[in-house]
Structure 1
């Protein structure tokens, strides 16, 4: 009985550790952590993806573009303060400095997906391909989470202290 319980605990630990790292992706010197998207209404035509990119190398890298089979068009975007207003705009690329982490989060840089072909539901994942100047093509899985998020960390979920809603991109294009 004790041997069976010990085996079960070890198996659970292995599965749990696998799940913890399942949301991290490596590409050369880049470490991409926790790609996520907020849950959007079933008839939505847009969604956004967020994640962090840690560059452990001595050379800066650049996110050049992204694509996903769930979207007709994918763009790199940022939110910026202009004349006291928060505005969203497309950017050519997103820099990831050497030995630094670039956050793609609500209220900052993010990946916008337009003309959704399918709208993923809460708890589901969808593929997103990122193209970096030096690290090249990186395939990640984006997890759909609750619409709540913490602006400071960019992480979503029940434990977020500051709840805000992401700007409605439908009205911005």
Structure 2
């Protein structure tokens, strides 16, 4: 139930964020005065309030997913995590835009809203480059949607002014497409590690977004090449323009729905097989990589998996890292009565044609300084560095805390 509510709120939040920030951006670049288009300020204010409400509700759902106890540790984790920073930017940006939609300071709110997309989602977990490309992609898409809303509102203007608006929008949109398409393509390539596979649901979801985007580009081309030149003298062209602009907005809504579904229930690194038993096959095979949700220990968590060495020579796992945490270390657990003690492990040996295991109560990956708590359903990227096999990318699937045995750890 929380997953469904989260997906719905994400979709509505995307629509509000793109509409609020995009309308401010488009109005600025098109050099429109704050009162030159009737209804623009009301649209910006409504979208800003909607985004602020969405951010608050998303934070509430996140707390509920972690158990519902809003204690000091929970608040600290929220504030210091990328999710907390993104929701803060959306909340602050939405409120600022809603408060002063007609002032130049509304641009600061638009920038804050755009920057939030570089902090959360699948793309930022792949590193700085993908965070930058998704931010550029979002900026261009938001401007496009904002421009469409302005064209809808500009329909109330005299035909001469509408034609001037459409001409300016079409000229600037060409440059935005130059930014939108390459940025989106690079982001998708980085997410899929340059290995698309339509057997994966996530890849098919990206394909659906690409098809919808092609539909947007086709309608934009019709507006630019066919309807705009005729709008000054052909009443039928104006009616067709109204239809194509509203159709483009509907396609944006479809893209938001697909994106909300992908970011809620899918992962760019999900294996072809639904059970995620075997994730990586090569010099080493990674079997059943997972991590427990740890709502009571928001600063740390553990990771488990089985490593099979397919090489003819012994290998060693030297280190691990993740964008999700400040530090990932190799640990070994030993029992002292009812207490489990952990110590650092310099390297994990994996014999030729043999295996090594990270398992509860034994060896494990230790994540410290988490940027966000592990929540059931999350997919945590980890890079394993082997002495011979080199780097291996693994995704840990976060499972319920109930699946984890209890015990006390001390260092």
Specify whether residues 84 and 70 from structure 1 end up closer, same or farther in structure 2 by C-alpha distance, changes over 3 A only.
closer
| 1:66 and 1:130 in contact (8 A); partners too | yes
Which residue pairs with 1:33 in the alignment? 287
Which residue pairs with 1:165 in the alignment? 406
Query: Which of residues 336, 346, 349 is equivalent to 1:92?
Result: 346
Q: List gaps (5 residues or longer) in structure 2.
A: 1-198, 202-270
Which residue pairs with 1:24 in the alignment? 279
Q: How does 1:72-151 map to 2 (within 5 A)?
A: 72-81=326-335, 86-149=340-403
| Greater Rg over alpha carbons, structure | 2
TM-score under structure 1 normalisation? 0.73
Q: Does 1:55 align with 2:55?
A: no
Shift of 1:121: 1.0
What secondary structure, in the 3-state scheme, does the structure 1 residue paired with 2:273 have? helix
Specify whether residues 55 and 43 from structure 1 end up closer, same or farther in structure 2 by C-alpha distance, changes over 3 A only.
closer
What secondary structure, in the 3-state scheme, does the structure 2 residue paired with 1:138 have? strand
Q: List gaps (5 residues or longer) in structure 1.
A: 1-12, 150-155, 157-163
Which residue pairs with 1:8 in the alignment? none
Indicate the structure with greater strand content.
Answer: 1
Indicate the structure with greater helix content.
Answer: 2
**Further displaced range: 97-106 or 75-84:** 75-84
Deviations 1:87-136, CA, capped at 9 Å, x for gaps: 11111010001121111011111100001111131011110000000000
Deviations 1:72-95, CA, capped at 9 Å, x for gaps: 111100102358853111110100
- Distance in 1 of aligned mates of 2:368 and 2:383: 15
- Distance in 2 of aligned mates of 1:124 and 1:82: 33
- Distance in 2 of aligned mates of 1:119 and 1:43: 8
